[in-house]
Amino acid sequence: MESANRLLLLAAVVCATLMFSGCALFRRDKPVEPQQTEEQAAAEEEAEDADSTPPRVIDPNVARRKIKTPKIDNENWEIGVGAGFMSIEDFGTSSTYAGQISYHVTEDFFFRADLGQSTAGKTSFETLGGNIELLTGDERRFTYYSLSLGYNFLPGEVFLGRKLAMNSGFYTLVGIGSVKFAGDNRLTLNLGAGFRVLPTDWLAIHIGVQDRVFNSDLLGEDKVTNNIETLLSATVFF
Amino acid sequence: MELSITTTRSRQLRKISALVFVFACFLSGTAVAKQTPEEKAQAKEEKAAAKEAAEKAKLPQVFVSEPYLELATGPGRGYPVFHVVEREQSVDVLYRRTDWFKVRDERGVEGWARANDMRRTKLADGSPFVFNLGDRAGFTSHVWEIGIGGGDYGGANLINAYGAYSLTDNMKVEITLSQYLGNSSNGYKAEAGILHVLFPEWRISPILELGTGVVLVEPRATIVLPNDRTDQTAYAGVGARFYLTRRFFLRADYRWHTIFTSRDDNQELEEWKVQIACFF
């Protein structure tokens, strides 16, 4: 019985030996180069390490990249002068001279300030009534300014002849301001529209109309007056 | 209307029409100058001169890193694209208008490139081309702001414009110019002060104001006090800023004014106003 047990154990050991060595037996025909190369590489690394500094995981001396912001010339301001006609309600149409400055915020919107002066004519009452003068010379001066928000729309090009195309565009204006007329200041609301042509990128020619609306009681009754200004102006961008 | 036009008026009109004519001549003059065909040599010289000038001015140069960069004829989305600059080519940046850059490519072609496209270009050392954009980050941190608006100043209508310079994101110095139009008096104000933005990174941020200035009072003709007078004024105020879109924001203020009059008592006035403003 004991010898039978020993036999069984021996058989098991032999089987186990055969099984475990089996993998190696089956792969014996294949070369065992990878093991060799790994050993070689390790040897090479050791050789390298021996004559150089110890390996560094992170190089701490990284140059910090400076982000440069190149100086770019901004040309969002537009300044200019113009001349035209101002139709002052009840006081006829007179010449007017005006200055304007704009700041272009986006390609669509801009702020604009206008300052102008005109001289009122005579009312028909004064003309027909002989020597009657409603206003003195100084009071006839019609000085106005306005602060407006403008909106560009319908951008396009105008063509002069075959070779020349100029950028153009329409704009609308809405704003508030003040007018000094007949010895008094009045709050005005201004609404306007204009057309702008740019012969070059820095020069613009404007044709614009603005209605300057204010309350007036000059002729007895309090009423809303519409004073329409037509202006031809030249502006430069800077 | 026609009755009121006198001979002097028609003379004036003639003067104006002469002026308009001069303007028209000026306009056509620039057109003719452009139209005349120039000699090639002259054009070449001009180009060379322009190149030299560019080198002198040391214009920023950027390289196209996207497949191409589109150039339009004008600084607006409606203007047609007439030229493309290829990848790896450079352009000189001449100037910027709103969200468009005027650039010149290696062949001397000038056109307008969109800011969004320019953001994807690189400088010569490979670093990105950085510039300020009109966005929320710009609203938080910017250098200048200007605004216009209106409101009420002690019962009078108020017209107002201001400009502010940022010392920090929170602290700004500002100058306010205003005109008020009331029933008893008109006048002008010029004030300088400091402005504290409590939370610049918030879309709606409260502000505190403190300043001083002068006020010119012009009593209206019908009122007894006939003389104009200039008084010193000081104010303290609270308000809020509200970011709208792009570069625009709204600003609303409430200010308490004390006017140091030459009379026995100082005058106290309340002012409120709403302004539309932009930053850059």
**Residue B248 is encoded by which pair of tokens?**
């625009």
DSSP letter for each residue of A159-208: EETTTEEEEEEEEEEEEEEEEEETTEEEEEEEEEEEEEEESSSSEEEEEE
pLDDT, one tens digit for every residue, chain B (280 residues): 344 444 445 555 555 555 555 555 455 444 444 445 556 677 777 766 766 665 556 788 889 988 999 999 989 888 889 999 998 888 999 999 988 999 999 898 999 999 989 988 888 888 888 888 888 888 999 999 999 999 999 999 999 999 999 999 999 999 999 999 988 888 999 999 999 999 999 999 999 999 999 999 888 765 555 677 889 999 999 999 999 988 899 999 999 999 998 777 888 999 999 999 999 8
Contacts A157 to B, Cβ<8 Å: 73-74, 79
Asked whether residue A202 is domain-assigned, the answer is yes
> For residue A22, what pLDDT is reported?
47
Mean predicted confidence (pLDDT) in A15-38: 51
* Cβ <8 Å between B134 and A106: yes
Nearest to A176 among B5, B15, B159 (CB): B159
* Dist CA B92 CA A81 (whole Å): 32
Judged by a CB distance cut-off of 8 A, whether residue B5 touches chain A is: yes
Other C-beta atoms lying within 10 Å of the C-beta of residue A75: 19
> For residue B272, what pLDDT is reported?
95
B37's CB contacts (< 8 A; 6+ apart) are none
Q: Are residues B271 and B142 in the same domain?
A: yes
Asked whether residue A211 is domain-assigned, the answer is yes
Asked whether residue B268 is domain-assigned, the answer is yes
Residue B221: φ, ψ to 5°: -50, -35
CATH of the domain at B251: 2.40.160.20
B119 CA: distance to closest CA in chain A (Å): 12
Contacts B273 to A, Cβ<8 Å: none
Asked whether residue B35 is domain-assigned, the answer is no
Nearest to B79 among A160, A167, A175 (CB): A167
* Cβ <8 Å between B157 and A187: yes
Q: Which of these three, B98, B131, B164, is where a domain ends?
A: B131
- Helix, strand or coil, per DSSP, at residue B3: helix
> For residue B151, what pLDDT is reported?
93
Q: Are residues B95 and B224 in the same domain?
A: no
Asked whether residue B27 is domain-assigned, the answer is no
Asked whether residue B210 is domain-assigned, the answer is yes
Q: Are residues B158 and B100 in the same domain?
A: no
B101's CB contacts (< 8 A; 6+ apart) are A72, B93, B94, B95, B112, B113, B114, B115, B118
Supply the mean pLDDT for chain A.
82
Nearest to B96 among A73, A147, A155 (CB): A73
> For residue B168, what pLDDT is reported?
93
Domain range enclosing A177: 77-237
Residue A21: pLDDT over 70: no
Domain count along chain B: 2
Nearest to B186 among A154, A165, A185 (CB): A185
Asked whether residue A58 is domain-assigned, the answer is no
> For residue B53, what pLDDT is reported?
62
* Cβ <8 Å between A127 and B6: yes
DSSP letter for each residue of B264-277: SSPEEEEEEEEEEE
Contacts A181 to B, Cβ<8 Å: none
> For residue B52, what pLDDT is reported?
64
> For residue B45, what pLDDT is reported?
75
> For residue A23, what pLDDT is reported?
47
Q: Are residues B54 and B187 in the same domain?
A: no
> For residue B13, what pLDDT is reported?
54
Q: Which of these three, B107, B131, B155, is where a domain ends?
A: B131
Cβ atoms of residues B100 and A152 within 8 Å: no
Q: Are residues B160 and B275 in the same domain?
A: yes
Judged by a CB distance cut-off of 8 A, whether residue B122 touches chain A is: no
* Dist CA B56 CA B53 (whole Å): 5
Q: Are residues B125 and B179 in the same domain?
A: no
Asked whether residue B19 is domain-assigned, the answer is no
* Cβ <8 Å between B35 and A163: yes
Taking one residue from A and the other from B, the number of pairs with CB-CB distance under 8 angstroms is 167
Q: A24-33, A208-217, B191-200: lowest mean pLDDT where?
A: A24-33
* Cβ <8 Å between B218 and A123: no
Asked whether residue B33 is domain-assigned, the answer is no
Q: Are residues B217 and B100 in the same domain?
A: no
How far is CA B275 from each of CA A71, B5, B146, B182, rounded to the nearest angstrom? 30, 41, 10, 20
Query: What pLDDT band is residue A213 in, cutting at 50, 70 and 90?
Result: very high
Asked whether residue A147 is domain-assigned, the answer is yes
Q: Are residues B53 and B169 in the same domain?
A: no
Judged by a CB distance cut-off of 8 A, whether residue B98 touches chain A is: yes
Asked whether residue B10 is domain-assigned, the answer is no
* Cβ <8 Å between B96 and A75: yes
Q: Are residues B64 and B194 in the same domain?
A: no
A210 CA: distance to closest CA in chain B (Å): 18
CATH of the domain at B103: 2.30.30.40
Q: Which of these three, B96, B131, B166, is where a domain ends?
A: B131
> For residue B6, what pLDDT is reported?
43
Cβ atoms of residues B138 and B149 within 8 Å: no
Contacts A105 to B, Cβ<8 Å: 98, 134, 246-248, 278, 280
Of residues B249 and A26, more confidence is placed in: B249
Q: Are residues B72 and B197 in the same domain?
A: no
Domain count along chain A: 1
Judged by a CB distance cut-off of 8 A, whether residue B33 touches chain A is: no
DSSP letter for each residue of A37-82: HHHHHHHHHHHHHHHSPPP-SS-S-PPPPP-------B--EEEEEE
pLDDT, tens digit (0-9, with 9 covering 90-100), for A94-147 = 999 999 999 999 889 999 999 999 998 888 888 887 788 888 888 889 999 999
Q: Based on the number of CB atoms within 10 Å of its own CB, is A65 exposed (0-12), middle (13-18) or buried (19 or more)?
A: exposed
Contacts A80 to B, Cβ<8 Å: none
Asked whether residue A21 is domain-assigned, the answer is no
Residue B152: φ, ψ to 5°: -135, 135
Domain range enclosing B257: 138-279
> For residue A41, what pLDDT is reported?
60
A238's CB contacts (< 8 A; 6+ apart) are A75, A77, A78, A79, A202
Nearest to A92 among B5, B60, B95 (CB): B5
Asked whether residue A124 is domain-assigned, the answer is yes
* Dist CA B102 CA B115 (whole Å): 10
Q: Are residues B232 and B172 in the same domain?
A: yes
- Residue whose structure tokens are 């010449």: A95
Q: Are residues B98 and B221 in the same domain?
A: no
> For residue B218, what pLDDT is reported?
85
> For residue A38, what pLDDT is reported?
59
Asked whether residue B79 is domain-assigned, the answer is yes
Asked whether residue A97 is domain-assigned, the answer is yes
> For residue B88, what pLDDT is reported?
87
Which residues 123-162 of B are in CB contact (within 8 Å) with A? 123, 127-131, 134, 146, 148, 150, 157, 159, 161
Pick the closest to residue A145 from B9, B248, B161 (CA basis). Answer: B161
> For residue B19, what pLDDT is reported?
58
> For residue B261, what pLDDT is reported?
84
* Cβ <8 Å between A184 and B5: no
* Dist CA A21 CA A24 (whole Å): 5
Asked whether residue A65 is domain-assigned, the answer is no
Query: What pLDDT band is residue A10 in, cutting at 50, 70 and 90?
Result: confident
**Residue A50 is encoded by which pair of tokens?**
């021996």
Mean predicted confidence (pLDDT) in A46-65: 65
Nearest to A83 among B4, B16, B102 (CB): B16
* Dist CA A206 CA A185 (whole Å): 28
Largest CA distance in chain A: 157
* Dist CA B112 CA B99 (whole Å): 10
Cβ atoms of residues B114 and B129 within 8 Å: no
Cβ atoms of residues A225 and A215 within 8 Å: yes
> For residue A36, what pLDDT is reported?
52
* Dist CA B81 CA B94 (whole Å): 18
Residue A209: pLDDT over 90: yes
b/e per residue A136-164 (b: at least 16 CB within 10 A): eeebbbbebbbbbbbebeebbbeebeeee
> For residue B77, what pLDDT is reported?
85
3-state helix, strand, coil in chain A (%, to 5): 20, 50, 30
CATH of the domain at A105: 2.40.160.20
ipTM of the complex: 0.73
